[in-house]
Amino acid sequence: MEKYHCFLVGGQTIYLPVTPTAVEWGQGVGIETINISAVGDVYRPGKPTRYRGRIEGFFPAREYPWLAPGARTDPYWYVSLFTSLAHEGEVVRYIVAGTEINAQVVVEDLQYREKDSSGDVYYTLSLAEWVDLEAVTVSRPTTAWDATHGTGNGGQEVNQGAQQYTIVSGDMLSVICRRYYGNGSATYYNALAAYNGISNPHLIYPGTTITIPPADELLGR
């Protein structure tokens, strides 16, 4: 299955014209170093870091049979687009169809070059996840981990019925599913979108209230 890579930019969907040759995408944890007398440095995991990624591929200068929908054969149009996004710090959404990658990002850097007579431009695009600090709240909803392993609340029973959630700026259905079900895969966020009558799971709007049903009900088990 072809995995299309696209960016939602100012209400437009921009597909990478050719499937990238390499994609790196991941998250780690910050490491805190503690120096203990007579022991030395001790390393302790900290809080999770934000997702970061790097994409390598090329922008085509000619028509190829495998180009993505709406692809342009003007490589410097893409160079101009991503250079502008990097300079302006514009927040865009990066999506890879058929995967769990669906995140709001900023373009950190674009490196590009021509290396043969084809006119194709080869690039390395660096991305970093963006988070709206105004959307961060103190309260934390119940997660699948809480339901199965306890919440540290002295054994208080967790309510596993349907819940209501109001979308805030920066939210994604995949992240909401990971938060409530412990799984942010396409199976879950597509099911949650269908359950709430959302036609496009990648387009949700702040202020919209959705229903979060139990996992069994969501997946029709």
Q: What is the pLDDT of residue 180?
A: 84
Beta bridge partners of 32: 44
**The two three-digit tokens of residue 107, written as one number:** 């373009």
CB 160 within 8 A of CB 147: yes
Residues in the chain, how many? 221
Q: Give SS3 for 1.
A: coil
**How confident is the prediction along the chain (221 residues), in pLDDT tens digits per residue?**
456 888 888 778 889 999 999 988 876 555 555 666 656 666 555 555 677 889 999 999 999 998 988 899 999 999 999 999 999 888 888 888 877 788 888 999 999 999 989 999 999 999 998 876 554 443 444 444 344 433 333 333 334 578 888 887 767 888 888 888 888 788 888 899 999 999 888 788 888 899 999 888 898 86
CB 120 within 8 A of CB 58: yes
Q: What is the pLDDT of residue 72?
A: 92
Q: Where are the domain boundaries for CATH 2.40.30 in the chain? A: 5-29+43-129
Predicted TM-score of the model (pTM): 0.57
Q: Where are the domain boundaries for CATH 3.10.350.10 in the chain? A: 134-218
**The two three-digit tokens of residue 196, written as one number:** 């709430």
Q: What is the pLDDT of residue 32?
A: 56
| DSSP notation for 187-202 | HHHHHHHHHTT-S-TT
Residue appearing with tokens 């995949």: 174
Q: Give SS3 for 174.
A: helix
CA distance between the termini of the chain: 27
DSSP-based helix, strand, coil % in the chain, nearest 5: 20, 35, 45
Please choose, from the candidates 29, 27, 47, the residue with its C-alpha nearest in 3D space to the C-alpha of residue 105.
Answer: 27
Please choose, from the candidates 192, 145, 146, 155, the residue with its C-alpha nearest in 3D space to the C-alpha of residue 171.
Answer: 192
Q: Which CATH architecture has domain 5-29+43-129?
A: Beta Barrel (2.40)
Q: Catalogue the E-assigned strands of the chain.
A: 5-9, 12-15, 22-26, 29-36, 40-48, 52-59, 92-96, 102-113, 121-129, 163-166, 209-212
The CA distance from 197 to 194, in Å, is 5
CATH number of 134-218: 3.10.350.10
